[in-house]
Amino acid sequence: MTLQLAVLASGNGSNLQAILDRIADGALDAQVRLVLCNKPEARALARARAAGVAHLALAPADHPNRESFDAAMVAATREHGADTVVLAGYMRLLTPGFLAAFSGRVVNIHPALLPSFPGLRGAADAQDYGVTLAGCTVHFVDEQVDHGAVIVQAAVPVNAGEPLDDLKARIHAMEHRIYPQALQWLAEGRVRQEGRVVRVLPRLDGKAVAGIPDGPWLVWPPLEPGF
């Protein structure tokens, strides 16, 4: 199955770019039908334009409340034929009405190993706490912040005394790998959720699952060739 994606972003859109790149090289069975931003200056819009992808900026200030704004996003997403919503640095909470419109089809990536360090400062909070492993999480989205069931996580080492930007760069590098991988699992129909537990079914072709050969990283479930 080819996923029909709407990507919601508020800023740089580096995860959007990673998704576009994996689609272009044939590793991800998806089409980005719409890039939707709540900020007209978001670089994600320029990335969509460069890729020839439909893109739209909607201003929250033009709507009387969150429900009205999200209803406009639902309408735009449906108009462009998307069936799966990908949050890529989208810095607004989604309303219950939006989540109901795409029930079980909204995913997010967070720069921490959830349930630890939810919220806007995931990597910084992890560093401030003094952890030795930080990382990122792809999860389903529910009505609570960074709370939905976990699909895949990647851990990276935290080096004592290092600049926060260095840690963020390592985390981002893994985000760009595990997010497209999670979407490919969805495209292949291999993701099963039972309560809060998400299982990734084995590959139908029987090929062995490969880990990550480069670096002392931990990803579970393991990544597969091409990611």
**Which residues participate in catalysis according to the annotation?**
110
Residues constituting the chain:
227
Other beta carbons within 10 Å of 142: 16
Cα(98)–Cα(22) distance, integer angstroms: 27
Cα(189)–Cα(183) distance, integer angstroms: 10
Looking at the DSSP assignment, which residues form a beta bridge with residue 135? Answer: 155
Cα(211)–Cα(206) distance, integer angstroms: 16
Cα(184)–Cα(165) distance, integer angstroms: 29
